[in-house]
């Protein structure tokens, strides 16, 4: 086929297309390859005129080895896969930037990217699940990774955190055991992307230091609604180092500006089948729609002299938090993710986070979990990315200049010039030069720390408590959060085949709280625990999701169920209201196409109802219009949609005669006898647990939109009596 040469465009895309912070995007631009309008060639640039037929001796004869195009095409295909990450294999990523609010941290750190409000540092953030393989689902009960690469002017800083502030184990030497127990079992590679199985519960019940992280895992934190609505934590205690070399302990926190929201477990399981890419899609679509995920960076600062000021925790123990009520979180800056990657493999798969990548102004502590990570991340990239030059892969290249005498190895992309590949040298003018310790203020200086101790495989006494903070977490939960936690333990343990493992977990839970252990035991057929009370009653309100501030409704997805005869006026009002708040309305019809409205017009259908499900939406609306409502009441799919959304505690918008649907779905919230002169006599949304009514025939008004905004912003309404709902 002839090609239109005039349609050919330069090989590189313009960085102009990128809203994300400049320096990194400019660096990536020459690597981007645009195939539009180009000819097909081999790897050697030789033009090819047929890529559908191999070279043969006669049309029915054998293929010929001299067919370099066939050989190259098959060879390249054979080697497309690289080893997936040994943990956190499934991930999604985005570009963006970080900017500090002011210079408030200048007294604590020399890191410019944290203290100069005029500096916008490019970032690349990868979110992940831990247990599943690359092709697994987004919504198992699991920890989520939250890894940020800051391309600072002083080099790359990788903050490789999770969405939970603690970790299962205290010492990195236990990590292979933990991961073996957590991952699918060796004999049959089951279960995929799930934690509910014998080896995991066997291990954790024999390793009590896991108890704190475990209760986080049984909470709704393990089921984030979206990567936009989950927190992130650096987990370990790090140090900030100021220009005078003084250090302050620091814990890093990311807080999403869209609020902290979760799925419910039944919903998460259904999503795994309906849309395994649920979180990935949400991240991608939000950025494409300009609803950029945003997170505030906060720090807990602890003066160096207070290292031993906590009698119930050790700052070096990653199974402990420092409660926010004791050391508040100070907001210091904002991260915005505003550009999707261009290529999944080149960027999201090849990004290599290394916990050891830190910049001047930040330093490590002796946390034994952190220390093992310093080795592991560097080491794992050698296998995963095929050699020691992985920092040259475009996504991993710092924007800061790189000059050293390291050389050769697989995939060396640079062409170092000159004779000098050693230090000291005179053949290269002594370059790259090393000015000498202390003569170069920007250089990274390891904190001069006195280290004194006898070699021993030991754990500090200050790491001994494994239950106090699990108790703190349990005590801080609202009633519905506790219900979810008990249900999660029951579900997970209910899948454990060995009764003695179930019993052992209950015994461990009894060391946290007797009501928790008793409630779990009652659901899994094991003996109730001994009635001892160990609970000291302490709590930390900051730990409850119920207490997190509610943000707006940007990025929320609302499904409107519709059919022929739908009243279009209130639908238009609803759509305008949602779009004005950066939320999305999708019209679901019985089939694709358009619907006839009650007013005689047409309403385009966004999707056919059978291709989606209530679990893929944040809220559901039912329309006004007698004919449409009668049709929907006759459709089991529509009735199930409404009942399921109600059961999953989602907001419902009920327009006019759509209230008949609420009644037909047998929701314990409303009957048409509640109507007074056609208008719902029910009070405002809050009193109705997130079900918001509009009078029949009425246009969408401010009272309705105010209530609906609050109902959607709250995200879920867990006080509903849902046990009897058949969904």
Question: Where on the chain is the footprint of ligand HDE (CB under 6 A)?
Answer: 85-88, 91, 126, 128, 145, 147, 160-162, 167, 172, 175, 235, 318, 353, 369, 372-373, 376-377, 380
Q: Which is nearer to ligand HDE, 85 or 228 (CB)?
A: 85
Q: What residue is closest to ligand HDE based on CB?
A: 145
Question: Shortest gap between Cβ of 160 and ligand HDE (angstroms)?
Answer: 5
Picking from 137, 55, 47, the residue whose alpha carbon sits closest to that of residue 92 is: 137
Q: Which is nearer to ligand HDE, 390 or 704 (CB)?
A: 390
- 88 classed as catalytic: yes
Q: Which is nearer to ligand HDE, 140 or 565 (CB)?
A: 140
In the numeric block, which tokens belong to residue 630?
């009668």
Q: Which is nearer to ligand HDE, 96 or 145 (CB)?
A: 145
List of residues 6+ apart from 481 with CB closer than 8 A: 219, 220, 544, 545, 546
DSSP structural state of residue 544: -
Q: Which is nearer to ligand HDE, 87 or 505 (CB)?
A: 87
List of residues 6+ apart from 193 with CB closer than 8 A: 90, 129, 131, 132, 133, 136, 137, 140, 142, 272
- CA dist., res. 330 & res. 348, Å (int): 31
Question: Shortest gap between Cβ of 229 and ligand HDE (angstroms)?
Answer: 18
Which residue in the list 69, 95, 156, 162 is annotated as catalytic? 162
- CA dist., res. 118 & res. 604, Å (int): 47
Question: Shortest gap between Cβ of 333 and ligand HDE (angstroms)?
Answer: 20
Which residue in the list 69, 88, 213, 466 is annotated as catalytic? 88
Question: Shortest gap between Cβ of 81 and ligand HDE (angstroms)?
Answer: 16
DSSP structural state of residue 187: T
- 535 classed as catalytic: no
Is the CA virtual torsion 156, 157, 161, 167 positive or negative? Answer: positive
**Half-sphere exposure (CA, 13 Å, Cβ side) for 637?**
14
Q: Identify the burial level of 378 via C-beta atoms within 10 angstroms of its C-beta, where 0-12 means exposed, 13-18 middle and 19 or more buried.
A: middle
Question: Shortest gap between Cβ of 87 and ligand HDE (angstroms)?
Answer: 5
Question: Shortest gap between Cβ of 197 and ligand HDE (angstroms)?
Answer: 21
Q: Which is nearer to ligand HDE, 380 or 478 (CB)?
A: 380
DSSP structural state of residue 346: I
Q: Which is nearer to ligand HDE, 454 or 457 (CB)?
A: 457
- CA dist., res. 296 & res. 499, Å (int): 45
User: Which residues of 304-418 form beta strands (DSSP E)?
Assistant: 330-339, 362-363
SS3 71: helix
Cis bond upstream, residue 424 (ω within 30): yes
Q: Which is nearer to ligand HDE, 383 or 610 (CB)?
A: 383
Picking from 438, 408, 435, the residue whose alpha carbon sits closest to that of residue 424 is: 435
Question: Shortest gap between Cβ of 172 and ligand HDE (angstroms)?
Answer: 3
In the numeric block, which tokens belong to residue 634?
């006759």
Q: Are strands 652-655 and 619-622 parallel, antiparallel or unpaired?
A: parallel
Question: Shortest gap between Cβ of 294 and ligand HDE (angstroms)?
Answer: 19
Q: For the chain, how far is it from start to end, CA to CA, in angstroms?
A: 55
The CA distances from residue 494 to 139, 335, 400, 487, 520, in Å, are 20, 41, 53, 10, 10
* Catalytically annotated residues: 88, 162
């Amino acid at each position: 086929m002839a090609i239109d040469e005039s349609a050919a465009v330069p090989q590189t895309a313009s960085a102009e297309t990128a809203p994300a912070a400049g320096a990194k995007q400019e660096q990536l631009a020459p690597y981007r390859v645009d195939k539009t309008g180009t000819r097909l060639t081999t790897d050697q640039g030789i033009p090819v005129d047929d890529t559908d037929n191999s070279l043969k001796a006669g049309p029915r004869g054998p293929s010929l080895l001299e067919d370099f195009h066939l050989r190259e095409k098959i060879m390249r295909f054979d080697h497309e896969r690289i080893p997936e990450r040994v943990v956190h294999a499934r991930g999604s990523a985005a570009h963006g930037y970080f900017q500090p609010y002011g210079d408030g941290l200048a007294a604590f750190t020399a890191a410019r990217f944290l203290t100069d409000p005029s500096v916008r540092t490019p970032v690349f953030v990868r979110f992940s699940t831990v247990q599943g393989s690359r092709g697994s689902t987004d919504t198992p009960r699991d920890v989520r990774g939250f890894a940020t690469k800051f391309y600072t002017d002083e080099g790359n800083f990788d903050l490789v955190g999770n969405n939970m502030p603690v970790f299962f184990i205290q010492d990195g030497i236990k990590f292979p055991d933990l991961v073996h127990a957590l991952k699918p079992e060796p004999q049959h590679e089951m279960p995929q992307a799930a934690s509910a199985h014998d080896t995991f519960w066997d291990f954790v019940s024999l390793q009590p230091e896991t108890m704190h992280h475990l209760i986080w895992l049984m909470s709704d934190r393990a089921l984030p609604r979206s990567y936009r609505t989950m927190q992130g934590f650096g987990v370990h205690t790090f140090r900030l180092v100021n220009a005078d070399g003084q250090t302050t302990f620091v814990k890093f926190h990311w807080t999403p500006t869209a609020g902290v929201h979760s799925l419910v477990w039944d919903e998460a399981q259904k999503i795994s089948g309906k849309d395994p890419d649920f979180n990935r899609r949400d991240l991608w679509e939000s950025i494409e729609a300009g609803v950029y995920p945003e997170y505030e960076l906060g720090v807990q600062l602890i003066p160096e002299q207070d290292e031993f000021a906590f009698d119930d925790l050790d700052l070096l123990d990653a199974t402990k938090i420092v409660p926010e009520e004791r050391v508040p979180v100070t907001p210091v800056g904002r991260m915005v993710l505003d550009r999707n990657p261009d290529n999944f493999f080149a960027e999201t798969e090849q990004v290599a986070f290394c916990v050891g990548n830190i910049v001047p102004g930040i330093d490590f502590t002796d946390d034994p979990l952190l220390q093992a990570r310093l080795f592991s991340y560097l080491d794992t990239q050698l296998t995963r990315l095929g050699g020691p030059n992985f920092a040259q892969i475009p996504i991993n290249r710092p924007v800061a200049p790189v000059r050293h005498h390291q050389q050769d190895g697989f995939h060396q992309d640079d062409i170092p010039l000159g004779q000098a590949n050693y230090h000291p040298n005179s053949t290269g003018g002594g370059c790259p030069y090393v000015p000498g310790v202390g003569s170069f203020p920007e250089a990274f200086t390891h904190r001069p720390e006195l280290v004194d101790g006898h070699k021993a495989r030991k754990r500090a006494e200050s790491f001994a408590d494994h239950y106090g903070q699990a108790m703190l977490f349990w005590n801080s939960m609202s009633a519905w959060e506790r219900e979810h936690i008990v249900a999660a333990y029951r579900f997970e343990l209910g899948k454990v085949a060995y009764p003695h493992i179930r019993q052992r977990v209950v015994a461990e839970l009894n060391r946290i709280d007797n009501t928790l252990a008793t409630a779990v035991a009652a659901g899994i057929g094991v003996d109730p625990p001994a009635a001892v009370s160990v609970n000291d009653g302490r709590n930390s309100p900051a730990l409850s999701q119920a207490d997190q501030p509610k943000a707006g409704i940007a990025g929320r997805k609302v499904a409107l169920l519709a059919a022929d005869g739908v009243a279009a006026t209130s639908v238009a009002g609803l759509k305008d209201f949602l779009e004005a708040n950066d939320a999305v309305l999708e019209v679901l019809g019985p089939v694709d196409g358009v619907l006839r409205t009650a007013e005689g017009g047409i309403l385009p259908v966004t999707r056919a109802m059978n291709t989606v499900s209530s679990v893929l939406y944040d809220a559901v609306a039912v329309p006004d219009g007698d004919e449409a409502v009668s049709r929907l009441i006759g459709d089991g799919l529509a009735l199930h949609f409404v009942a399921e959304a109600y059961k999953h505690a989602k907001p419902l918008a009920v327009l006019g005669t759509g209230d008949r649907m609420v009644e037909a779905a047998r929701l314990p919230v409303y009957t048409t006898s509640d109507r007074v002169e056609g208008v719902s006599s029910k009070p405002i949304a809050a009193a109705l647990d997130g079900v918001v009514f509009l009078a029949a025939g009425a246009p969408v008004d401010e009272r309705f939109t105010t209530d609906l905004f609050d109902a959607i912003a709250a995200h879920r309404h867990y006080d509903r009596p849902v046990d009897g709902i058949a969904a």
